[in-house]
Structure 1
Amino acid sequence: MLLSLVLHMYSMRCVLPAAVLLGTAPTYVLAWGAWRLLSAFLPSRVYQEVDDRLYCVYQSMVLFFFENYTGVQILLYGDLPRNKENIIYLANHQSTVDWIIADILAIRQNALGHVRYVLKDGLKWLPLYGCYFSQHGGIYVKRSAKFNEKDMRNKLQSYVSAGTPMYLVIFPEGTRYNPELTKVISASQTFAAQEGFAVLKHVLTPRIKATHVAFDSMKNYLDAIYDVTVAFEGTIDDKGQRKEAPSMAEFLCKECPKIHIHIDRIDKKDVPEEQAFMRRWLHERFEIKDKLLIEFYDSLDPERRNKFPGESVNSKLSLKKTLPSLLILSGLTAGMLMTEAGRKLYVRTWIYGTLIGCLWVSIKA
């Protein structure tokens, strides 16, 4: 009985973060919606600046749970510029936590509000946030033949014209790498071999379309590309084989002790512009990622396993950057829920906000 209680309490460690993160969603969307209306007749850059600040508040609260609450150690390899830049962020994709990693780096550059994502089209149906991510500068894309290059290019060029700060996150693999999905990995490796590319072990063969359109649309606006390789410690089983990366719920249950993040900053002049050349360049970057991950997971030397080559820096996030956001959003939400009118507004925001958002993205996104 006692053991069952302990196990139950352990599994409940993600409930508080999930309740706060989801529970504050209507509060945040109401605040953003109010600003959207108030700024209707103001210059777009004024709207964007405040929207970025609002987004920074919410994402800081997210990082309170994913960094301060979990106590995870962030180990950085390579050089992360201190100053914010207009960048494309390219990373390997293995977990639902991956989008948080971009936040982890961005907050250390004071660029958290500028993070925008290239997202799978199905995510636009997320309640409340599906619509908001698009409004914040996110871009929903479909895979393969359904990919709408013109639409993505137009959106990016409009952001450039408006001077929108860009920390654009792309996962070129298109889907998460899971070592248990052997058919997906095999198909990816077969495709690489057929195209004359190196076969990759710990990442999937990257797709070029979204990366090429993003770079081509913003090349005169960008400062650099960040090539980011991520490994979650604790993802090797008893036999020394790689296992699935932690999900968001598992991560919030403190099942990941350390995140290893390797950053290569690539100046835009070193990136080929033509799609065919960029395709080979991108695959070569993923070959580098693969070698880093082979060293991390498969090194015969136990001293070199579970870390990337080179020196690392243990980067700890101060509570000063996250706790105020948690107190503001949770306090506003609690205040709303304490009155009958507030509770009605809260529920209606969930219902009508979701319905209006789904209608909007079905037409616009």
Structure 2
Amino acid sequence: MKDYQEYHPHNIYGKTSNSFIRALKRVFIICLFLSGSLSIVVFQICVQLLLPWSKIRLQNGMNQSKKAFIVLLCMILNMVAPSSLNVTFETSQSSKNSSNTKSCFRFKDRAIIIANHQMYADWIYLWLLSFTSNLGGNVFIILKKALKYVPLLGFGMRNFKFIFLSRNWQKDEETLTSSLISMDLNARCKGPLTNYKTCYSKTNESIAAYNLIMFPEGTNLSPKTREKSDAYRQRAHLNHVQLRHLLLPHSKGLKFAVEKLALSLDAIYDVTIGYSPALKTEYVGTKFTLKKIFLMGVYPERVDFHIREFKVDEIPLQDDEVFFNWLLNVWKEKDELLENYYNTGQFKSKGETENRSTVVMKQTIGFQHETLAPRFLSYYGFFAFLIFLFVMKKILELALR
């Protein structure tokens, strides 16, 4: 694959020192995001009005709108923050030798993706990984309940069937159960999106797939959250556990999700995310905020992912404590990966040196992956324009009466 920097532009804010021009560019980016989001929401409303009788076609339309949103974000990031995205993933030697073609990473159709949470943009990059696996319309993210009520975006995310939690288990258990059971039943051809005739069709298989993104740390790493994590570590009598680059993970929600999805789940992916340039003493979430990335052009030059796959039968679900210890060991290994990353600039897995059957493959992707992004988004813009004309016509008719 060609080197990423060969065809990627620099961020648009770095091309001029004129403050007025930079302000105009920020306004342009904000308008592009809002108009694109509005177009997607209008498309969702049209689909709901025109296809209420067909759950499969309705869901397919919502999945298309979900793809459009990540395309919109990637198109903007390609202009303002063109980071290089590098993936290393562990595979077996036999898998590598079984094909003459270069191995490329791809998430399985029904998977849980767990990752360390360093900054608020983490979910965008993980969503892009799913998009390059042809699963951009099948991503589900667990979010704070307050985001459900954000104007415009909240409505769109509810249609995406994202899971909104209030961080109160008594309230969240019912919401989480309903969402997970629906995902599982549809994936096993037993839910409302499936029937005997369409269950095994390629179209329906893509509709019923899911990539559930979860952050077991619960929040992104910062001085404040580190203090809370240390307090949690003391309450849990885990003073012997010292994580240098991570927060202590919480296992209850993840175990609950694995149990509810176990019958359809293909794999659990552990994704370790590293951002460069960043020192091990820095907090990435403070250095690269959403505002700095999208409106100031301050962004990581490189985003690195190291991905490990766990089979469902490898996960100890029989006991809460055993499961927590398993997750804690995963987090300790992740912390060691990040220590090596900050020291050497790359991820180096223990399996790479200790297990000869393990091969670490490398892959580079970029925001240019969807070359038809402008045309793809224009479909939604066309719907928005038609609705705008219709509304203006009705307003004029009422005004002239």
Partners of 2:339 and 2:43 in 1: CA distance: 46
Partners of 2:278 and 2:219 in 1: CA distance: 19
Q: CA 1:12/1:272 → structure 2, altered by over 3 Å: closer, same or farther? A: farther
Partners of 2:107 and 2:332 in 1: CA distance: 28
Partners of 2:47 and 2:379 in 1: CA distance: 19
**Residues 254-273 of structure 1 mapped to structure 2, 5 A cutoff:** 254-273=298-317
Residue number in structure 2 paired with 1:354: none
Partners of 2:337 and 2:24 in 1: CA distance: 35
Residue number in structure 2 paired with 1:190: 231
Kept in 2: contact 1:72–1:254 (CA 8 A): no
Partners of 2:272 and 2:109 in 1: CA distance: 19
Kept in 1: contact 2:87–2:363 (CA 8 A): yes
Kept in 2: contact 1:72–1:256 (CA 8 A): yes
Q: CA 1:322/1:49 → structure 2, altered by over 3 Å: closer, same or farther? A: same
**Residues 1-365 of structure 1 mapped to structure 2, 5 A cutoff:** 5-6=17-18, 9=21, 14-42=26-54, 44-67=55-78, 70-79=81-90, 81-82=105-106, 84-145=108-169, 147-163=171-187, 164-178=208-222, 181=223, 183-197=224-238, 198-236=241-279, 241-245=281-285, 246-252=288-294, 253-273=297-317, 274-297=319-342, 299=343, 304=344, 306-309=345-348, 313-317=362-366, 319=368, 321-330=369-378, 333=381, 341=389
Kept in 1: contact 2:108–2:266 (CA 8 A): no
Partners of 2:235 and 2:307 in 1: CA distance: 30
Residue number in structure 2 paired with 1:362: none
Kept in 2: contact 1:61–1:325 (CA 8 A): yes
Partners of 1:10 and 1:92 in 2: CA distance: 33
Q: CA 1:226/1:8 → structure 2, altered by over 3 Å: closer, same or farther? A: farther
Kept in 1: contact 2:111–2:269 (CA 8 A): yes
What TM-score comes out, normalization by structure 2 length? Answer: 0.73
Cα deviation for residue 337 of structure 1 reads: 6.1
- AA at the equivalent of 1:227: D
Partners of 1:89 and 1:282 in 2: CA distance: 13
- Give the number of the structure whose alpha-carbon radius of gyration is greater: 2
Cα deviation for residue 86 of structure 1 reads: 0.6
Unaligned runs of 5+ in 2: 1-14, 91-103, 188-207, 350-359, 396-401
Q: Greater shift after overlay, 87-96 or 281-290?
A: 281-290
Partners of 2:158 and 2:382 in 1: CA distance: 27
Partners of 2:249 and 2:26 in 1: CA distance: 32
- AA at the equivalent of 2:146: G
Partners of 2:282 and 2:24 in 1: CA distance: 26
Partners of 1:263 and 1:11 in 2: CA distance: 39
Kept in 2: contact 1:72–1:259 (CA 8 A): yes
Q: Greater shift after overlay, 32-41 or 240-249?
A: 240-249
Cα deviation for residue 317 of structure 1 reads: 3.2
Partners of 1:340 and 1:37 in 2: CA distance: 16
Unaligned runs of 5+ in 1: 348-365
Q: CA 1:340/1:15 → structure 2, altered by over 3 Å: closer, same or farther? A: closer
Kept in 2: contact 1:115–1:167 (CA 8 A): yes
CA displacement 1:291-324 (0-9 Å, x = unmatched): 1222223x3xxxx1x32226673513374x4342
Length, aligned pairs only:
330
CA displacement 1:7-59 (0-9 Å, x = unmatched): 665576554333212222221111111112222111x2332223212211221
Partners of 1:259 and 1:170 in 2: CA distance: 19
Q: CA 1:288/1:9 → structure 2, altered by over 3 Å: closer, same or farther? A: farther
Kept in 2: contact 1:102–1:115 (CA 8 A): no
Q: CA 1:268/1:340 → structure 2, altered by over 3 Å: closer, same or farther? A: closer
Q: Greater shift after overlay, 21-30 or 323-332?
A: 323-332
Cα deviation for residue 77 of structure 1 reads: 1.5
Cα deviation for residue 325 of structure 1 reads: 2.9
Identity of aligned residues (%): 20
Partners of 2:237 and 2:85 in 1: CA distance: 36
- AA at the equivalent of 1:102: L
Cα deviation for residue 249 of structure 1 reads: 2.9
